[in-house]
């Protein structure tokens, strides 16, 4: 039977995971516990709810791995079976607030997130074509995200989720329509990394929108208008 599990962000988890209190206002039960208290709670939750997941080499992974699966609402997070429970707990702890801040449309564009200790075997290729590139923290674009080198990194779910959202909107990671039009104005991309390609411009704009919408509205109004409408209007195609 499929375990529906680990609703760390949900308000009704208090009776399922002992030790997590439900705060008065938001559903972020885990946020009310201090770091020393909550890590064992997450580890316990992993023990209760993780189940065997897929086996394979995803995106830039060189060799296949077996993964554990943990459900987060409608996303599945997959942890390499070489990861310790403590590493899994650290990742969940670092990323769960990122996940909760995402607009619904962005969150729903990603179905599976994989965390691997491997690096992206395409890094040399990307270094050769992107001037602003060091090494891959993560990759997205096909409704999955793969996080490399033990992840997790700040902004990971927003930027890679942005590639997945572009793919859902345009059928490929390179945006067209109103976003492409906004990008063809004199307004510059929101970051240096966004100058690498229109697809990166879009992913960076999505991440910027989630992290600092007020600043984006002031400094990048053309991109802001398109991204905000994408997030607010589920029928808008961008």
Closest CA to 170 of 160, 161, 180: 180
166 Rama class: left (phi>0) / alpha (psi -120 to 50) / beta: alpha
- Residue showing the smallest CB distance to Zn ion in the complex: 203
Q: Looking at 18-26, 45-53, 115-123, 200-208, which segment touches Zn ion (CB under 5 A)?
A: 200-208
Q: Looking at 7-15, 98-106, 198-206, 213-221, which segment touches Zn ion (CB under 5 A)?
A: 198-206
To Zn ion, the closest distance from the beta carbon of 163 in angstroms equals 6
By beta-carbon proximity to Zn ion, the closer residue of 203 and 231 is: 203
Q: Looking at 78-86, 105-113, 194-202, 222-230, which segment touches Zn ion (CB under 5 A)?
A: 194-202
* Residue ranges of E strands in 22-134: 51-56, 65-72, 75-80, 112-115
To Zn ion, the closest distance from the beta carbon of 43 in angstroms equals 31
Coil, strand or helix at 118: coil
CA separation for the pair 41, 135 (Å, rounded): 33
- Determine, following the binding rule CB under 5 A, whether residue 203 of this chain makes contact with Zn ion: yes
How many CB atoms within 10 Å of residue 205? Answer: 27
To Zn ion, the closest distance from the beta carbon of 49 in angstroms equals 30
By beta-carbon proximity to Zn ion, the closer residue of 89 and 203 is: 203
Through-space distance between the first and last CA atoms of the chain, rounded to whole angstroms? 39
To Zn ion, the closest distance from the beta carbon of 79 in angstroms equals 22
Q: Identify the bridge partners of residue 77 per DSSP, sorted by sequence position.
A: 70, 113
* Residue ranges in 15-74 that form contacts with Zn ion under rule CB under 5 A: none
Q: What is the dihedral of CA 35, 73, 147, 83, to 10 degrees?
A: 60
Size of the site for Zn ion (CB under 5 A): 2
To Zn ion, the closest distance from the beta carbon of 200 in angstroms equals 5
Q: Looking at 37-45, 53-61, 193-201, 229-237, which segment touches Zn ion (CB under 5 A)?
A: 193-201
Rg over CA atoms, the chain: 18
By beta-carbon proximity to Zn ion, the closer residue of 89 and 227 is: 227
By beta-carbon proximity to Zn ion, the closer residue of 46 and 156 is: 156
CA separation for the pair 170, 194 (Å, rounded): 18
To Zn ion, the closest distance from the beta carbon of 76 in angstroms equals 21
Using the structure block, give the residue that is written with the tokens 């039009």.
181
By beta-carbon proximity to Zn ion, the closer residue of 95 and 156 is: 156
- Judged by the rule CB under 5 A, the positions of this chain that interact with Zn ion are 200, 203
């Amino acid at each position: 039977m499929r375990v529906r599990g680990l609703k760390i962000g949900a308000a009704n988890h208090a009776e399922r995971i002992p030790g997590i209190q439900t705060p008065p206002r938001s559903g972020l039960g885990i946020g009310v516990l201090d770091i020393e208290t909550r890590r064992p709670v997450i580890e316990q939750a992993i023990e209760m709810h993780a189940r065997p997941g897929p086996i394979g080499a995803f995106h830039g992974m060189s060799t296949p791995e077996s993964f554990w699966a943990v459900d987060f609402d409608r996303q599945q997070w997959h942890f390499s079976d070489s990861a310790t429970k403590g590493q899994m707990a650290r990742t969940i702890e670092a990323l769960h607030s990122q996940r909760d801040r995402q607009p619904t449309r962005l969150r729903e564009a990603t179905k599976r997130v994989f965390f691997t200790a491997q690096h992206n075997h395409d890094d040399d290729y990307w270094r050769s074509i992107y001037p602003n590139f060091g090494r891959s923290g993560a990759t997205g674009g096909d409704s999955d995200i793969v996080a490399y080198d033990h992840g997790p990194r700040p902004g990971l779910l927003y930027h890679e989720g942005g590639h997945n959202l572009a793919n859902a909107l345009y059928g490929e990671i390179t945006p067209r329509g109103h976003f492409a039009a906004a990008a063809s104005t004199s307004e510059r991309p929101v970051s240096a990394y966004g100058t690498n390609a229109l697809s990166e411009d879009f992913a960076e704009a999505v991440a910027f929108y989630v992290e600092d919408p007020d600043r984006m509205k002031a400094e990048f109004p053309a991109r802001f208008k398109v991204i905000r409408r994408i997030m607010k209007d589920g029928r808008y195609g961008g």
